[in-house]
Structure 1
Amino acid sequence: MAQSHRYRRNVLSSALLLAMLPTLSVAAQEAASSEPTKELDTVTVTGSRIKRAQVEGPAPVNVITADQIKKEGFVTVYDVLTTLTEATGTVEADSQWGSHTPNASGLNLRGMGPNRTLLLVNGRRVADYPLPYGGETNFSNYSNIPAAAVERVEVLTGGASAIYGSDAIAGVVNVILKTNYDGDEFRIRGGSSTEGGRDTWDLSWAGGKTGQQWSVTYALQYNKRDPLFGRDRPAMDDSDDAPYSSWNTEQRKVGFRPTVGLALIDAGSGMRLAPPTGTCEKFGGEYYTADRLTYNYATDTINNTGRLCGMSADYANWLLTGGAENLSGNLYGTWDFANGMQAWSNIAVYHSEALWSTSPPSVYLVDDANGYFIDQQSGSPLIGSRQLTANEVGGMDKLRNTNRELSWDWSAGLRGSFADRFDWNASVGRSYYRVEERQNVVDEQKSYDYFLGPRLGTTADGEAIYDLNEERWWNPITPAAYGQFGTVAVNKAASWVNQASFDVTGDLFEGWAGPIAFAAVVEAAQQGYKLNPDARAGIDFDLQNVDRGGGERTRYSAGVEFQVPLLTSLTATAAARYDRYGSYKAFNSADTLDIGSQKETTWNFGLEWRPLDNLLVRGSYATSFHAPDMHYLLGQPSTAAETSTDQLRCIQSGAYLVNNCGVGNTDVWYQFDVNRRGTPLLKSETGDSWTVGFVWDVMQNLSFTADYWAISLDDMIVDVGSEEILTSEAGCLTGKKINNTTWTNPAGEAYCAGILARVNRDSEGRLVSIERGPFNLANREVKGIDVSGRYRLDTDNWGDFQFGFNYTNQLSTKEQKYDNDPNPERRDRDLRSKLRASVAWQRGNWNANVYADRVGSVPGVRYHWNAADTSTTGGCLPFADGYVPSDSPGLNCHEPATLPNGQPNPNPNAGQSTKRYFGRVGPFITWNFNVGYRISEHAKLNFYVNNAFNAASWNHKDPYKLDYDFAPTRLLSAVGREVAMEYVFTF
């Protein structure tokens, strides 16, 4: 059981332990007295299995307490984790087009990727989020952790595989839940955004009871956040909300082309057939009558391609910020046996339902074979396009999609001690996560049946003939009519992990400078996931994303750790661990997968030197690994349609010589399928990390820490994307790029053979599909510094103050995709620094807190790098008419007077140049304020103002970001200022 060691410790260090572990309050208060030497209970701190009395060890651990989460104004665990200064990497935004995980929240420490940070709950692994991040990797969801049940969160940054195994490349987030809690606390909080929308509610009840031999701790939490859509922020609900500086030549000349609400197009002439008078006005303001103007830059002419019903706000129903209705609970209990052994068990359950949307259901009347149909009455080849409105489908929710999620985690075990010095713990558990994704879509054939009727015949050229029902087409439909062709696509996914472990820790014997401590662990686990997309996807309707794959694998692990005092002031720690992944079983695959197994041995070493009572100098080195994510290995062909430039045909046709390889040239710009398949024979990613720094208790109640760190990763798994495949295919066969520069082979003949095998073309040479997938290719290295400070000031007249700050600066970021690639400094290409700070005040029944975080600037979208990736060349600014010259280093933002074929360049800006652009967006500073008043011994009121100065994506637009939603939304949401009131009652 708990052990005690005598050691010297000053007031602040003891206060840190007190904040982290309230159950040690008596011992910590004693250590804060004038006596120089006191006894403190030992505890396990993330990064080691050996119990210790010191909070600080050889590697830095950031501790966030439940009280800190509340004081700083946060409601969820994920809200506060995103403010960690170590989280310098970005993740998919809620509003991001094409997101595969719209209701999940990942964490990206050190910019190493959300799949390279290990999430633990009470030191145990939990099931991955079932859907793959970006359609590629497995990762952990941090938004399903019930904040009411959390005692503290410990964050270790750096490699920790020698302690915890795979995934701990960038760090470990260990969520410690409440245990042995006595009493009850009820909280109710309600709030809203001052800009409108985004109402929030949070109710929680946490408490516990203890008896002579037993204890039970429970927590129940209900949380509701309304999602925010484009219509809730008028500055972001339409294409023309993009900053004018981002508008292209056509947009500056004729404005934005109206997004189709309702249109009928003659496929032969490209002209829109004008809707009958008054048609657009029948749709309750969702549509307006518009001319679709096009602009020919080469000839400086405007062409009217006919009238249609344009959407009044084309992004009105697109998601800006996610919301959900969540219910979670946690129950923990213990039973003490007479022989000193204790049994324990924990069950946590989470249920969530969220609304989201980026593309509401639409109707497209085309023939699959030809891209149009023949109208019997007019004899014309027609294309119909129709965006359905809320009134037609039966309400706004029918335009949106729903994620329903359920996860639960159960564990139980026995713990005790033997030989009066060793503690042991044996446990088993199962963690399970299920997602049901429901998307509102249109059944293609049923929509044909409703608007076109039966197929009447086929022309001599094989074109389908229909009789368009214009009465239905040009008028609003009813929800009952929508029910004839609207449907719900259901994608299901699940993941799980079954695990058992046994560990032991204690002092082996007394060494020459103190007791030599020891810990050992053995583990066994079975991990699995399964994706079940709707079987109708790609047949009856198209879906935004269709991910397929699934399987199981086993893991066996064993590790050992030692803590050895070398001198009274110098302590060494060392650990080693062996992990074996194998026994793979693929689901729903006709292929025989020869995956084999991954076997990795990792180790670490650390030193703690205390030359003074108030100074710790520390350093650590660790090796780490990341076993290939299961979806990297077992992902089955998952298809998505993509429209892009066929670069090979662009070069072979000569279109690249006249800069005609984009939209409008249907010979080289068209749609094809992109398949993504796992790669069975992947190796583990391997890396190492090291830290060196100090903890200095400068004076009573004042402390600073500073650490320099470095993380490197080899054989990093990356997906070879569609753009690289198209560029490399053209380069392998022609030696050129479409910008008329020379293509360089990055990896020899084998690389070209692998690329060409991934491209499928028809007999005419047009792309049918390409296949992308993961490979062990890249190497990544990051370095930086972390600095933190804490100060407590107690006054007689003004109250008590607590000050704290954390700062991270990522000094270096380098990544090579191929070994022969250049390896330039990439620090400026992403987020470089973060700062968080708070001031807490308490006097009598009043308390207040001021919190601020600063997220450093990020490159603007026009901040490009040259193709060779050897230097930061910057992008090119547009000319006054919106035309942007090539950012190729050779052209240097100069529009040539002649074309590559020697003919005069017809561009109006020929012979002129613009400047390079090195602009960044940000930094972003967010302020939270709250004040509380204790009404009575058991009741308290809190008032919160979060993001008090309205830092939001709609008022921090990127001047050159044309695409929705016009801002770096991975760093800044559209919510803006929020206010809330909270009532707390204890009993």
Structure 2
Amino acid sequence: MTTIRMRRGLLASSLALALAAPSLYAQTTQNDAQAPQQNDADKTDTSSKAKTLDKIVVTGSRIPRSEIEGPAPVTIITAEQIKAQGYTTVFEFLNSLPQVATPAFSDRISTWGNTAVNARPINLRNLGPDHSLLLVDGHRITDYPQPSAGQSTFQNYANIPTGMIDHVEVLASGASSIYGSDAVAGVVNVILKKQYQGDDLQLTGGGATRGGRNYGDLNFTGGRSGDNWHVIYNYEHTNRSPLWGRDRSYTDAESDAGYGTWNPSARMFGFPTSNGIALQNAAGNYIAPPAGACGQFGNNFSAYDHKTIGTIGNVVDPTSISDAGVSCTQRAVFANWVLTPGLRSDSFYVAGQYDFSSSLSAYGSVTFKDSTGTTNTQLPVLYPMGGLPNNFYDQTSGQVISNYTRQLTSQEMGGYGNTHDYEKNWDIHAGLKGTVFDDRFDWDFNVGTSKYIVHENYTGLNEQGMFDYFFGPQLGTTNVGGTDYPTYALNSNRFWNPISTSDYKSFAVGGTNSAYTWMDQATFNLNGNLFDTWAGPVGFAGVVEGNHQGFRLAPDRRGNTTTFGDPFQNLITGGGTRTRFSGATEFRVPLASTLTWTISGRIDSYNDASIANTAKTWGTSLEYRPLESLLLRGTYGTNFHAPDMQAIYLADSVSTVGDYADPLKCIQTGDRACQPTQHATYFTQYSGGSRNLLPETGHSWTYGFVWDIPWVDGLAVSADYWHMGIDNAIKWIDTNTLLTDEAGCLTGTTVTGAPYIAHPQGSEYCQLAIKNVVRNADGSINNITVGPINEASLYVSGVDASLTYKFGSERWGNFNLGIDYTNNLQFKERDLSSDPLLNTRYQYVASKVVGTASWHKNDWDVSLHGERSGEIRSNNYGGCEVLPNGIQPSVGDPQCVIYHGHVAPWIVWSTSVGYRINERLRASLNVSNIFDKVGSIPYYSGGFEFIPTQQGDSYTGREVFLTLDWKID
């Protein structure tokens, strides 16, 4: 990725060649520029139009200016550069930027219970997807219908028509005084093509060389124009196959966990994986399967003897071996889990403009996308969920049954029972624009409407039906040891042997969860020069906006019962609307020929079910140019984020959680790794929104410089310090956070044995955390309550730097080099004002650098792209290293050696080679991740997602794509 830096004097002639940028409001001040093509003939044609582009609007301001570099750093990249770096989607490209952090664990595609697996959010500055704003041609787009992690709204970056992208502008700092709510961490503005002459067909095919993620794309773009009109149209069909856990055998089983998580029993008798078919008696011992039963299910199950060995201090005691019996355990419990979803999509786009005169034009655009996503996690399994019989007498075995598991297989089901998300989205805009007061001011009035629909079809869970099929009806009661137990009779033939697909269908259920979002909006923009001063014209921009939006979550009407549930047994409901009216002004005042001051202010008035109603923000900036080649700049502004609509309107809901870590139990048993595992019994999670929420408020500032080195033509450097803060932030206390804090508040320690310092014991927060976790008498979790709080604080700061160098000759061609670097210096946070403000930077990637080198000569062009994400602390950091026998001492133990391991930096390289065969045909080869690198499993990592993906580590490996581009006419 190369951040584009330009000198003021070169802007007019180079802007159209590099960007062909239309304005932020789908307009330029005079004429729309044609998208550039990668050949010399096209460059000659577009350069004649570039001279009319004296001023443009760049994200971060509504006032047109002559310099692409302004007071706030903005990253700009063209669609051609995105493709040259090997990216097939906008999301993949944006996720590679140094300013963008990887998603939190709860937002990862394959995480148990993820409610938005087909969407792709962006996490600017690690402030979360709901704190950045996505614009398309300067307009807001509707939110993705399903909430992120079941709790917050965001925009879907996978829903942008990639074939129509002209360029992308990224402002990674607060800008609420310009754009309003959500623009806390920054703004991503995707500019679509506005003009095209002729027709073009582009075909792309490829996939991962390790298997999976087969990719095909057909992109047809065309356009026509006349003396006073132009129209552009696009159709794109994309098909990408899923990447399944079974496609990456090194991480599809629990036993793939790092050896540091193997306890003494696992090291001696083998790693205990999740049960596939199991019965346990009243003593907790397993009832042995019939001989050969486990091997009848293909490669799904194997017999495992549940032996454990005792320990005395830090020594294994070979005389203390207990045997709980044999069950059929799963060889690869994650084989059917999706690592990246499959996608089949069709998108349509048409836009046009008609000029009534030189001062009045009408324009409009229509975007429609129809897509299907394919995902899956665990196949249906019978277990003693709440409401099903447990602790009953089984006539077949003659024993009291205290626990049971019967995992269904794909062979029994006649398929994998994948989940399919059927999505439809449309966005329609129309407007008038022109000039007034002798062309002194430009105006633009735009209205738009959009809607997003998701219907998620899935294989459901009928636990009662499965129980009845395997155990039959109740046969009265049986007295054992003075206790009357409900009596059933296990059908051993069904339970221990594969069942037929027709038998499965007798209790199989399927369901549909639906979700909808919509938005209607109107915007009026006015900008121009108010008057001239001795130092230059005073620029002005004003905007008035009206917006009405809403959402509705409509899960299957059968709810979440013993006879029906979705794959995660979630039941998330809710819905509501919000109306907003906003007004903003911005002034750009030249204080001297080299010094410019900008000030902006905005007021947003909300009408929704929360107690929030009005937000006021302001911002200011300075630009100082002591030399033509040197810009010194700085900004300050206040920001806000309206209460998340999901946080307001989510109805009280109930879900079932079975894949989790229990830190309190880990501390009590000395399990220092404490990795999430699939439990035989689940707990109930209660969650819901709150109407008593206020807007999140914050501030941001930046300062830095941009310098075009005068004695080295084509060399430019920049550096900017940035800081952002959020007060009274809305934070969802999720499952992992709550259980971790409950354990720390009760014991004063963490799972590694280190002191717990996140919250003082006995504090208001600790009392709340302990209260919200209800445990059974045996210490297992019965239920928890999670939800939003409105008192958190978060402050982040860091440094961005970049270097670009462009040089060339007639003999050797043209070269472009670029390096972008981000160092996240601080990440301070607290949940309540009574908590300490802790710098948790170590939990995230501290630094990231991206570099690109490209070469172009005649019909050839080549690029090389590299990314490096810095190291992060490994699991068990600060805890004791595990001894060779599998025992982990406690901190303070003489045998304790404190572990300070890190996950090594993640470095990947990609390349592209393009060749123009003739005037109409061009071919290019893209290789992403040249050296076929995949994430490794750290020594102390266990549970699913062994690979730490915080740095961008992936399971994919190398991908190769071939593209043919045919200019039809």
Q: 1:962 aligns with which of 933, 942, 957?
A: 942
Structure 2: distance between partners of 1:784 and 1:704: 17
Aligned to 1:185: 200
Superposed displacement of residue 596, structure 1 = 2.8
Question: How far is 1:522 from its partner?
Answer: 0.8
SS across alignment from 1:105: coil
Equivalent residue in structure 2 for 1:879, among 877, 880, 883: 883
Report SS of the residue matched to 2:159: coil
| Greater mean alpha carbon deviation, residues 79-88 or residues 442-451 | 442-451
The equivalences for 1:697-776 within 5 A come to 697-698=708-709, 699-722=712-735, 746=760, 758=772, 768-776=782-790
Deviations 1:81-124 (A, max 9, x none): 11111113534322323322211111111111111011111111
SS at match of 1:41: coil
| Distance change >3 Å, CA 93–CA 933, structure 1 → 2 | same
Query: Deviation per CA, 1:532-577, whole angstroms, max 9, x where unpaired?
Result: 1223343024441332221111111100011111111111111100
AA in 2 matched with 1:951: K
Change (3 A) 1:297 1:799: same
Q: How many residues align?
A: 921
Q: How does 1:254-273 map to 2 (within 5 A)?
A: 254-263=269-278, 265-273=279-287
The correspondence for 1:81, drawn from 94, 114, 124, is 94
Mapped to 2, the partners of 1:343 and 1:147 lie a distance apart of 25
Alignment-mate amino acid for residue 698 of structure 2: G
- Please give the alpha-carbon distance, in whole angstroms, between the structure 1 residues aligned to 2:54 and 2:757: 64
* Structure 1: distance between partners of 2:84 and 2:770: 57
Distance in structure 1 (CA, Å) of the matches to 2:777 and 2:249: 49
1:69 counterpart SS class: helix
Q: Which residue of 2 aligns with 1:691?
A: 702
1:40 offset after TM fit, Å? 3.8
Give the conservation status (yes or no) of the 8 Å contact 1:804–1:837.
Answer: yes
Aligned residue runs from structure 1 range 241-320, under 5 A: 241-263=256-278, 265-297=279-311, 300=318, 301-320=320-339
Write the distance in 2 (CA, Å) between the matches of 1:172 and 1:657.
Answer: 46
- 1:15 corresponds in structure 2 to 14
Which one of the candidate residues 665, 676, 695 is aligned to 2:687?
676
1:883 counterpart letter in structure 2 = I
* 2:476 aligned with 1:457: yes
SS at match of 2:101: coil
Match of 2:794 among 774, 780, 795: 780
Pick the aligned partner of 1:393 from 410, 413, 430: 413
1:913 aligns with 2:895: yes
What's 1:923 paired with?
Answer: 905
Q: How much does 1:239 deviate?
A: 1.8
Residues 926 and 186 of structure 1: is their aligned pair in 2 closer, same or farther, counting only changes over 3 Å? Answer: same
Look up the equivalent residue of 1:945 and give its one-letter code: V
Distance 1:660 1:937 in 2: 66
Match of residue 846, structure 1, among 852, 855, 860: 860
Q: Does 1:569 align with 2:594?
A: yes
SS state at 1:777 partner: strand
Measure the CA separation in 2 of the matches of 1:185 and 1:114. Answer: 35
Write the distance in 1 (CA, Å) between the matches of 2:126 and 2:630: 31
Equivalents in 1 of 2:672, 2:625: separation in Å?
Answer: 66
**How far 1:883 sits from its partner (Å)?**
2.0
Select 2:954's aligned residue among 970, 973, 981.
973
Deviation, structure 1 residue 292: 3.1
Change (3 A) 1:472 1:354: same
| Structure 2 counterparts to residues 314-333 of structure 1, below 5 A | 314-333=333-352
Report the counterpart of residue 46 of structure 1 in structure 2: 59
2:673/2:875 contact within 8 Å kept: no
Counterpart residue type for residue 271 of structure 1: N
1:560 equivalenced with 2:585 (yes/no): yes
* Runs of at least 5 residues in structure 1 that lack an aligned partner in the other structure: 1-6, 585-594, 864-873, 887-892, 896-911
SS of equivalent to 1:486 = coil
2:108 to 90, 93, 104: 93
Cα distance in 1 between the residues matched to 2:443 and 2:216: 42
Whole-angstrom distance in 2 between the partners of 1:625 and 1:735: 35
Quote the offset at 1:443 in angstroms: 0.8
Aligned to 1:517: 539
Deviation at 1:733, TM superposition (A): 9.4
Asked if the contact 2:265/2:307 (under 8 Å) is kept, the reply is: no
Give the C-alpha shift of residue 448 in structure 1. Answer: 2.6
1:683 aligned partner, one-letter code:
L
% of aligned pairs identical? 39
1:814 and 2:828 matched: yes
> Where does the alignment leave 5 or more consecutive residues of structure 2 unmatched?
1-5, 22-31, 37-41
Q: Which residue of 1 aligns with 2:500?
A: 478
Are 1:17 and 1:55, in contact at CA under 8 Å, matched by a contact in 2? no
- Are 1:24 and 1:41, in contact at CA under 8 Å, matched by a contact in 2? no
Contact 1:646 1:669 in 2 (8 A): no
Moved more, 74-83 or 675-684: 675-684
Amino acid at match of 2:338: L
2:123 is matched with which residue?
Answer: 108
TM-score (norm 1): 0.87
- CA apart distance, 1:61: 0.7
What are the equivalent positions in structure 2 for 1:357-376 lying under 5 Å apart?
A: 357-364=376-383, 368=387, 371-376=390-395
- Tell me, in whole angstroms, the C-alpha distance in 2 between the residues paired with 1:247 and 1:827: 29
Deviation (angstroms), 1:378: 3.7
CA distance in 2, matches of 1:945, 1:723: 38
Match of 1:942 in 2: 924
Return the alpha-carbon distance in structure 2 between the equivalents of residues 25 and 145 of structure 1.
20
Closer, same or farther: CA 392–789 of 1 in aligned 2, 3 Å: same
Q: Provide Cα deviations, 1:577-628, integer angstroms capped at 9, x if missing partner.
A: 00111243xxxxxxxxxx3333111111111111112111111111110111
Distance 1:742-1:506 versus aligned 2 partners, 3 A rule: closer
Evaluate the alpha carbon distance shift between residue 17 and residue 806 of structure 1 in structure 2; reply closer, same or farther with a 3 A threshold. farther
Residues 466 and 669 (structure 1 numbering): CA distance in 2 closer, same or farther, change over 3 Å? closer
- AA in 2 matched with 1:570: L
Whether the aligned pair in 1 keeps the contact of 2:347 and 2:370 (CA below 8 Å) is yes
Structure 2: distance between partners of 1:762 and 1:238: 30
Amino acid at match of 2:844: D
In the alignment, structure 1 residue 346 sits paired with structure 2 residue 359: no
Distance 2:754 2:899 in 1: 23
Amino acid at match of 2:938: D
User: For the Cα contact (< 8 Å) 2:12–2:54, is it kept in 1?
Assistant: no
The one-letter code matched in structure 2 to 1:548 is T
Within 1, Cα distance between the matches of 2:35 and 2:776?
A: 77
Query: Distance in 2 between the 1:493 and 1:816 partners?
Result: 33
Question: Aligned residue for 2:964?
Answer: 983
The change in CA–CA distance for 1:879 and 1:16 in structure 2 (over 3 A counts) is farther
Separation in 1 of the partners of 2:117 and 2:811? 50
What is the rounded CA distance, in whole Å, between the counterparts of 1:736 and 1:700 in structure 2?
59
Q: 1:471 to 1:726 in 2, by over 3 A?
A: closer
Instruction: Look up the SS of the partner of 1:918 in the other structure.
Output: coil
TM-score relative to the length of structure 2: 0.89
Deviation at 1:963, TM superposition (A): 1.5
SS, match of residue 177 in structure 2: helix
- For the residue of structure 2 that corresponds to 1:78, the secondary structure is helix
Partner SS for 1:636 = coil
**Aligned pair in 2 of structure 1 residues 17, 135: CA closer, same or farther (>3 Å)?**
same
* Inter-partner Cα distance in structure 2 for 1:106 and 1:479: 38
Deviation at 1:789, TM superposition (A): 2.0
- Per-residue CA distance 1:114-167 (angstroms, 9 max, x = gap): 110111111111111111112221111111111101111100111100110001
Deviation at 1:736, TM superposition (A): 10
CA distance in structure 2 between the partners assigned to 1:295 and 1:603 by the alignment: 65
Task: Give the secondary structure class of the aligned counterpart of 1:917.
Answer: coil
RMSD over equivalenced CA pairs, Å: 3.3
